[in-house]
């Protein structure tokens, strides 16, 4: 520690930090943004490659041919679905049994904290049907899952039918080393969650379900299939799971390899890969794909049925068939062959997928950015906070505040405690007060919850004026510096921990919060700065992300539509937290928002 304990060198270092603090901070911020945007530039990325040995070396000849039969089965399934008015449980059970699977059902029910706009009711009840194909000559210790959701209306009929056709084809093969579970779940994520909880004997979300009668060993990998038309033009891969967790990159590599082999167009984020990386359009395209992935990962919800498997260490991905306006169409047989190939390769696994990356960003399906390359972008933003903390003025006042005579602790503690109490209110009250709100105002429950959340958020803005009155003490120069020090450290630790678990969320929050928090003092022009602070607060960050997301998926919205989407995003976030344990809403309400409120307090210190 020579640098820090040698007094003369220490003085030089502190002098440098004092003089150049603001320029270094600005340079770091710009460098962080540029680094992040540069990640999509192709020469800075690596080509994807298959890391798992067991999956790379075998040559598989796919022979699935019952695509047409699958399509007629789809019509049959549709008819039975309409007749049953939901999931045709008996028909599915009979269909699976006739294909030689061991069939079991599971019923589940869940009381939603408030009626979702899609469901419009409090209680969701459903049944999952699953059939197990036992491996003929292997010990029944491992399993693979192929799942297709049973959705209302016209969607996903072909997926369920293809599932059944695959089951019939697989039953006649002798090379299976793992059991294969064919799962048809109702109510999308809720059904999948019930099935997974039943399978693993856990109860993390308060779901009620009947116990599973049949089981197949520990699940090594899962594939979710979404197919709504007879022919498709491309297959989309969905990787983002709950809390921004991603499956092992090998699963994406596997999908890409098979798409190349069978000549199927494959996309990610709905965007096709381009070859012209050296042109502006090529770069923008890759950057847009990467930004879409970042936005989807940051919102913390599971973008396909596969997302809930990831929590149980099961590598899972969703394959979605898209039918758009292209010449070349792929039929169901080819999709069946693709799935057959993928499942056969997964069958060869000796241990769970762990060789390839767990943290990555994909600017396209064949190029990836690993954590070692994208973390420095976040690191540069976090360094700004640390530079601000080590600003000698602040450092000195830390040692001064340790003396008992300074006003330090109590004046700092009050804003901290009040901010966190507001955060707790923001977390607890919207859901608990919805009945009261519905009684007094002509709104539905969902709107009541969301509007209560926004009301509490806005009410927090009025706090500094009230707490100053309450304290009846002068806002000392010392006081706000100590508060800023505490708040900067708190923000740095918070953003660091968030970035470790969900990089995209941490990065987006850092981009908007770091500039205002690093430069805030009570001596700035209050009105202007207050406006800037509100415009860069977490709620507005969500609003901007909604607009940017809509732009990127080429479905831009007007301001009022964007506002409605924003409200639905908030309600979805609260619902995800209650139903599946997503951590974005508690993180924002209990930690990020109080931290932002502390900085708001600093702005209005005197």
Residues in contact with other proteins by the rule CB under 8 A: 1, 4-5, 245, 311, 313, 354, 358-359, 389, 395, 398-399, 402-405, 489, 492-494, 496-497, 500-501
> Cβ of residue 294: shortest distance to other proteins, in angstroms?
18
What is the rounded CA–CA span in Å between residue 318 and residue 292? 16
Q: Which residue, 34 or 204, is less far from other proteins as judged by CB?
A: 204
Nearest distance from C-beta of residue 293 to other proteins, angstroms: 17
Round to whole Å and give the CA distance between 374 and 362. Answer: 11
Tell me the C-alpha distance between 385 and 24, whole Å. Answer: 11
Q: Give the shortest CB-210-to-other proteins separation in angstroms.
A: 25
CB of 334 to other proteins, least distance (A): 33
- DSSP notation for 272-285: ---S-TTSHHHHHH
Q: How far is the CB of 7 from other proteins (least distance, A)?
A: 9
Residue of 321, 314, 318 whose CA lies nearest to 342: 318
* DSSP assignments along 465-507, one per residue: HHHHHHH-S---HHHHHHHHHHHHHHHHHHHHHHHHH-HHHHH
Nearer to other proteins, 74 or 251 (CB): 251
Least distance to other proteins, CB of residue 275, Å: 32
Rounded Cα gap, residues 159 and 537, in angstroms: 42
Of 319, 327, 170, 326, which Cα lies nearest the Cα of 252?
319
* Minimal distance, residue 471 CB to other proteins, in Å: 18
Per-residue buried b or exposed e for 407-418, using 16+ beta carbons within 10 Å of the residue's own CB = ebeebbebbbeb
What is the smallest separation between the CB atom of 398 and other proteins, expressed in angstroms?
Answer: 5
Q: Indicate the residue among 225 and 251 with the shorter CB distance to other proteins.
A: 251
Shortest reach from residue 592's CB to other proteins, in Å: 14
Angstrom distance (rounded) from CA 16 to CA 584: 39
Alpha-carbon span 449 to 435, nearest angstrom? 9
Q: Least distance from C-beta 505 to other proteins, angstroms?
A: 13
Q: Which C-beta is closer to other proteins: that of 224 or that of 245?
A: 245
In contact, 316 and 310? CB cutoff 8 Å:
yes
Q: How would you classify the pairing of strands 142-150 and 179-186?
A: parallel
CB of 145 to other proteins, least distance (A): 17
Measured distance CA(464)–CA(459) in Å, rounded: 11
Helix, strand, coil percentages (3-state) for the chain, rounded to 5, are 60, 15, 30
- Angle at CA of residue 261, ends 256 and 263, nearest 5°: 90
Alpha carbons 599 and 606: distance in angstroms, whole number:
13
Phi/psi of residue 234, each to 5°?
Answer: -155, 160
Nearest CB to other proteins, comparing residues 51 and 155: 51
Toward other proteins, which CB reaches closer, 82 or 396?
A: 396
Nearer to other proteins, 392 or 473 (CB): 392
Cβ proximity to other proteins, 359 vs 549, nearer residue: 359
Cβ 271 vs Cβ 347: under 8 Å: no
Beta bridge partners of 232: 330
Nearer to other proteins, 89 or 346 (CB): 346
Q: Which is nearer to other proteins, 141 or 202 (by Cβ)? A: 202
| Cβ 5 to other proteins shortest distance, Å | 7
Nearest to 562, CA basis, from 540, 579, 547, 578: 547
Instruction: Specify the pairing of strand 123-133 against strand 179-186.
Output: antiparallel
> In the complex with other proteins, which residue's Cβ is closer, 225 or 362?
362
DSSP letter string over 379-439?
HHHHHHHHHHHT-HHHHHHHHHHTSTTSSHHHHHHHHHHHHHHHHHHHHHHHHHTHHHHHH
Classify the C-alpha dihedral 458-460-461-467 as positive or negative. positive
**Closer CB to other proteins, 2 or 442, in the complex:** 2
């Amino acid at each position: 520690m020579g640098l820090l304990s040698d007094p003369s060198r220490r003085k030089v270092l502190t002098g440098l930090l004092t003089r150049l603090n603001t320029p270094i901070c600005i340079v770091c911020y710009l460098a962080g943004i540029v680094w992040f945007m540069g990640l999509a530039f192709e020469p800075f990325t690596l080509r994807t490659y298959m890391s798992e040995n067991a999956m790379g070396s075998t040559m598989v000849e796919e022979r699935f041919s019952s695509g047409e039969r699958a399509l007629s089965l789809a019509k049959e399934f549709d008819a039975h679905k309409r007749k049953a008015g939901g999931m045709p449980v008996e028909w599915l059970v009979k269909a699976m049994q006739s294909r030689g699977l061991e069939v079991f059902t599971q019923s589940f029910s869940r009381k939603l904290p408030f009626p979702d706009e899609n469901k419009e009711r409090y209680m969701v009840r459903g049944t999952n049907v699953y059939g197990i194909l036992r491996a003929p000559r292997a010990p029944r210790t491992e399993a693979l899952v192929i799942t297709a959701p049973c959705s209302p209306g016209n969607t996903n009929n072909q997926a369920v039918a293809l599932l059944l056709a695959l089951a019939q084809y697989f039953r006649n093969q002798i090379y299976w080393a793992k059991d294969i579970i064919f799962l048809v779940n109702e109510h999308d994520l809720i059904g999948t969650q019930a099935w997974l909880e039943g399978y693993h004997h856990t109860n993390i979300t308060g779901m009620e379900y009947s116990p599973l009668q049949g089981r197949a060993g520990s699940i090594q990998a899962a594939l979710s299939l979404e197919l709504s038309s007879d022919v498709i033009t491309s297959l989309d891969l969905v990787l983002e799971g709950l809390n921004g967790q991603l499956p092992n990159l090998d699963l994406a590599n596997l999908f890409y390899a098979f798409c190349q082999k069978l000549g199927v167009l494959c996309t990610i984020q709905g965007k096709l890969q381009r070859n012209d990386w050296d042109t502006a359009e090529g770069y923008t395209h890759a950057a847009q794909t990467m930004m879409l992935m970042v936005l989807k990962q940051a919102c913390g919800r599971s973008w396909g049925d596969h997302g809930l498997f990831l929590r149980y260490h099961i590598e899972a991905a969703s394959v979605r068939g898209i039918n758009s306006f292209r010449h070349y169409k792929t039929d169901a047989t080819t999709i069946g062959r693709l799935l057959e190939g993928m499942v056969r390769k997964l069958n060869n696994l000796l241990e769970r997928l762990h060789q390839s990356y767990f943290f990555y960003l994909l600017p396209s399906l064949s190029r990836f950015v690993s954590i070692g390359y994208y973390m420095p972008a976040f690191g540069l933003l976090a360094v700004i906070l640390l530079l601000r903390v080590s600003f000698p003025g602040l450092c000195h006042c830390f040692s001064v505040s340790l003396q008992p005579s300074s006003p330090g602790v109590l004046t700092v503690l009050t804003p901290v405690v009040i901010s966190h109490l507001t955060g707790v209110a923001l977390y607890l009250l919207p859901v608990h007060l919805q009945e009261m709100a519905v009684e007094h105002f002509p709104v539905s429950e969902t709107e009541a919850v969301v509007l209560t959340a926004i009301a509490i958020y806005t009410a927090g803005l009025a706090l500094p004026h009230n707490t100053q009155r309450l304290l009846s003490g002068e806002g000392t120069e010392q006081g706000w510096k100590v508060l800023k020090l505490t708040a900067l450290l708190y923000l740095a630790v918070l953003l660091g921990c968030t970035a470790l678990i969900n990089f995209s969320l941490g990065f987006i929050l850092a981009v908007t919060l770091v500039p205002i928090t690093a430069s805030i003092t009570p001596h700035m022009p209050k009105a202007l700065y207050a406006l800037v602070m509100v415009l860069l607060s977490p709620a507005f960050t969500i609003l901007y992300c909604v607009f940017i997301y809509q732009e990127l998926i080429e479905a831009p919205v007007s301001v009022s539509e964007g506002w409605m989407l924003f409200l639905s995003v908030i309600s979805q976030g609260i619902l995800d937290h209650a139903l599946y344990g997503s951590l974005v809403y508690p993180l924002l309400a209990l930690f990020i928002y109080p931290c932002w409120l502390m900085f708001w307090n600093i702005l209005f210190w005197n």
